[in-house]
Amino acid sequence: MPGLDQHVQFALLLTLAAGLSTGIGSLLGLVNRQYNPRLLALSLSFSAGVMLQVSFVEIFPKAKIALVTVLGARSGYAMTVAAFFAGVAAMAALDQLLPSHAMVMPPPQGSGTKPATAEEARTLMRMGLFSALAIGIHNFPEGLATFIAALNNPRLGIGIALAIAIHNIPEGLAISAPLHYATGNRAQAFWISFASGLAEPLGALLGYGLLRPLMSPLVMGVIFAAVGGVMVYICLDELLPAAQRYGTHHQMIAGVIGGMLVMSLSLVLLA
C-alpha cells in the first residue's frame, strides 16, 4: 500500500481481516446446515466481553485523557461522555433506518437444499438480501471503529479486530444460509455474503479519507469516545441478545466474563 505509513497499513489490514471473517460464516452456511447453539452463544458472548472490556477499560479512559488535555478536566470529561453517547445514539438511529436482520437463520422447514415452495423461496431471498444490506451498512462504523482503535494502539486494535471477527462469522451465516436455501446457488450466496464484509475496510478507508485533514488531539479524542459508544451498543443490541437466544443465561455470562478476562490478560501481557 504505497503512500501509507506502517501504522495506517497495519490498521487497514486488521480491519480487512475482521471484515473478511464474514466469509467464514458464509462457508458455514453453505457446507453445514447444522450449527452448535451452545458454541455460538459462547462465541458471541465472548466477543461481547472483549468489546465491553476494551470500551470501558481502554477506549473511554484514553479518550478522556486526550480531551482533558485539550479542554481541561471538567469540559474534557463532559465532552468524552457526550461523544460516547453520541456514538450510541448514532448506532441506534442507524438501526431504526435499516431493515431488521437475524444474527443466524435456522434451516427452513422442508427437504433438500431448496425450500419446499416458491413463496418460501421468495421469503428467504428477501430475508437474505435484507440481511446483507443491514449488515453491510452496520459494518461501515464497525470498520471505522476497528481502524481508529488500531491506529491509536496496535495491541488494542488486535483485540477489537478479533472480537469483530468473531461477531462477523454468524453474520455471514445469516446472509448465506437463506440465500442458499432460496436459490440452491452456493457461489451466489457466498459472494453476496462475502461482499457485506468488505464494507468494513471500505468504511475504514472512507472514514480515514474524510477525517484525515481534520485530525487533531481534540478530533481524535471525540472519535475515540464515540467508537466506544458504537461498540457498547453493538454488544447490548446484537451480541448479547443473540447469545442468550442460542444458549442459556449462564452460558452467556460465562462467555462475557471469559472475553473480559482474556482481553485483560492480553493487555497486561502486551503492556
Does residue 240 sit within a domain? yes
DSSP 46-112: HHHHHHHHIIIIIIHHHHHHHHHHHH-HHHHHHHHHHHHHHHHHHHHHHHHHSPP--SSPPPPSSSS
- HEC secondary structure over 15-38: HHHHHHCHHHHHHHHHHCCCCCHH
The pTM for the full model equals 0.68
67-83, pLDDT tens digit by residue?
999 999 999 999 999 99
Does residue 251 sit within a domain? yes
Number of separate domains in the chain = 1
Residues 6 or more apart in contact with residue 55 via CB below 8 angstroms: 228, 229, 231, 232, 235
90-146, pLDDT tens digit by residue?
888 887 876 555 554 444 444 445 554 677 667 667 766 766 776 777 777 778 878
Does residue 35 sit within a domain? yes
Enter the C-alpha cell of residue 171: 453474520
Does residue 153 sit within a domain? yes
Does residue 260 sit within a domain? yes
| Mean pLDDT (the chain, rounded) | 78
Does residue 195 sit within a domain? yes
Does residue 232 sit within a domain? yes
Question: CA 193 → CA 43, 71, 94, 147, 176, distances in Å?
Answer: 20, 44, 20, 22, 6
Does residue 1 sit within a domain? no
Residue 259 belongs to domain spanning:
6-270
10-62, pLDDT tens digit by residue?
888 888 888 888 887 777 766 655 556 777 778 778 878 888 888 898 889 98
Q: Could you tell me which residue, 115 or 161, shows the higher pLDDT?
A: 161
